[in-house]
Amino acid sequence: MTESARNVADLVSASALRGPQHVALIDAASGAKLTWRQVDAAVSAQARVLVDAGVAPGDRVVVRLPTGPEFCVAVFGVLRAGGVVVPAGPGQPLRELERLVADSGARLLVGDAGGADITAMGPPALTASDEPEFTPVGGDEDLAVLGYTSGTSGVPRGAMLTHRALIANVGQCAALRPAPVTAGDRVLLALPLFHVYGLGPGLFQVAGAGATAVLLERFDAEGAVAAVREHRITTVVGVPPMYQAILALPADRLGDSLSTVRLFTSGAAPLAKGVLDAMRDAVGLPVYEGYGLTETGPVLTSTLVGGFPKPGSVGRPLPGVELRLVDTDGRVLDQDEDEPGTGLVSVKGANLFSGYWPDGNHGPGADGWFRTGDVGYLDADGDLHLVDRAGDLIIVNGFNVYPHEVEKVLGELDQVAEAAAVGVPDDRTGESVKAVVVLKDGAELDADTVKQHCAARLAKFKVPTAVEFADELPHSATGKLARSRLRIPLA
């Protein structure tokens, strides 16, 4: 599947060679279909367009398109041309998009520029005439994707993912049994493909296997279940809120509508035990859970490794991935000699990133190990359980939100003296953002105004769903904000 690939776009050409007439992409909205030969030709045509537009090896190109065939061709076209894909959400606010463009130094955007100061071109053509084959430019240790993820400061940083890292993770996932994706599968991709979880375990895994992706621009439970039934989906790549929404549909419909599915997988955020049990009851199949980060290409572990889902666990390391727990000084915890307990999750593998843009700092150490920032423990079977995370990261629908980023926006309101953002449980999204605001003396402000202010400056998943007002925020003796006390409703 990946043995001969040097450039991620080689996955497409290999699938076109193995099964040229096999359907590669289906647009669920229009029903339009493209074979692997057609996709390969469109990718080469797009690569040629990009090179003619001046894209040189290593140039960053923002891809800002909704999930659909055009997004897929655009991404593989940039990679085949030797460029670096910088994924951006089509609904990303202008302020965030401009910051991404400025930090990445991108010279071109494919899709809707949304008012950003950058040269833009429209979506790629999905049909291509028989032109000479375009030889891929670059690969291996060359940068392929610059995936922005919030750092501990709350400022998004670009994780530098090479062709080597992304291809390695495709191979590591493919080595699982049962394989998450095979050539005979029809895979439902209702995830945002600009998110690394949709891009790697979704699009790249489909391309590596030569499978068929059924693309939904945005997820809704009715539409997803209808797509499964109509297109006879066999594999669903999901996140917890997707399964929660599906389970809200009448139970008597699910068993028949989802009868063609052989494998459900979930990632990007913890899956509640109740969801695991409810899916098994509804359709007779478990949901296999995985864990990973943008920085790790992204998948690190899966319950597929052990062969069965285990509530509360994200499974064992993929083939080719090493995992250990360390203390705050980096000392490896000996699971036989040390007292059982938690440690910082540290990992090693060919799928790891090469540090943060632009200088590669804070990546894996000289010994190849990288501390993820998550805290967990290993049970007697060697399965990883995540119990906390370093810092105060909030995960909404699988997307990272750091409080500092939200608090900076809250502080722009003239009436605000101090503000804090914390994550609170949310049945639909896993977690949601709650803002706690202290007003200046004599100032007046209401919750709706706060939400509207944030909505104009932050991505939708970062906007507080709840706003509470307090006379003061709790601090420790050293002045550190006691966030844990803000997660419960204020009296």
For residue 432, the domain's CATH number is: 3.30.300.30
Among 329, 364, 386, give the residue marking a domain's end: 386
pTM, full prediction:
0.84
Is the pLDDT confidence value at 392 over 80? Answer: no
For residue 253, the domain's CATH number is: 3.40.50.12780
In a domain, 466, yes or no: yes
pLDDT at position 388 is 59
Is the pLDDT confidence value at 478 over 50? Answer: no
Residues 208-217 have pLDDT tens digits of 999 999 999 9
Residues 23-56 have pLDDT tens digits of 999 999 999 999 999 999 999 999 999 999 999 9
Q: Cis peptide before 358, with omega less than 30 degrees from 0?
A: yes
In a domain, 85, yes or no: yes
Q: Do 425 and 361 fall into the same domain?
A: no
Helices (H), 210-340: 221-231, 240-247, 251-257, 273-283
Point out which residues pair with 468 in neighbouring strands.
Answer: 436
In a domain, 75, yes or no: yes
Q: Do 358 and 406 fall into the same domain?
A: no
Among 67-81, 379-393, 432-446, 468-482, the least confident range: 468-482
Q: pLDDT over 90 for what percent of the chain?
A: 76
Structural tokens at position 103: 């930090």
Q: How many structural domains comprise the chain?
A: 2
Among 337, 357, 386, give the residue marking a domain's end: 386
Q: Do 59 and 124 fall into the same domain?
A: yes
Distance (Å, rounded) from C-alpha 213 to C-alpha 335? 41
pLDDT at position 389 is 61
Q: Do 418 and 340 fall into the same domain?
A: no
- Most confidently modeled range among 144-158, 302-316, 334-348: 302-316
Q: Do 25 and 114 fall into the same domain?
A: yes
In a domain, 378, yes or no: yes
DSSP-based three-state secondary structure for 230: helix
In a domain, 126, yes or no: yes
Give one DSSP letter per residue of 98-151, joined into a string: HHHHHHHT--EEEE--TT-SS-EE-PPPS-----PPPPPP--TTSEEEEEEEE-
Q: Do 398 and 380 fall into the same domain?
A: no
Is the pLDDT confidence value at 108 over 90? Answer: yes
In a domain, 196, yes or no: yes
Read off the pLDDT band of 479 (50, 70, 90): very low
In a domain, 1, yes or no: no
Count CB atoms within 10 A of the CB of residue 165: 26
Q: Do 289 and 428 fall into the same domain?
A: no
How many helices (DSSP H) and strands (DSSP E) are in the chain? Answer: 13, 24
pLDDT at position 152 is 44
Rounded to the nearest integer, the mean pLDDT of the chain is: 92
Q: Do 131 and 184 fall into the same domain?
A: yes
Is the pLDDT confidence value at 134 over 70? Answer: yes
Read off the pLDDT band of 80 (50, 70, 90): very high
pLDDT at position 339 is 53
Task: State the residue range of the domain holding 143.
Answer: 10-386
Structural tokens at position 425: 């449980």
Q: Do 481 and 377 fall into the same domain?
A: no
pLDDT at position 477 is 42
Q: Do 357 and 403 fall into the same domain?
A: no
Mean pLDDT of 58-69: 98
Q: Do 320 and 288 fall into the same domain?
A: yes
In a domain, 227, yes or no: yes
Among 386, 407, 426, give the residue marking a domain's end: 386
Q: Between the CA of residue 116 and those of 7, 120, 191, 212, 413, what are the distances in Å?
A: 30, 9, 25, 34, 24
Q: Do 351 and 481 fall into the same domain?
A: no
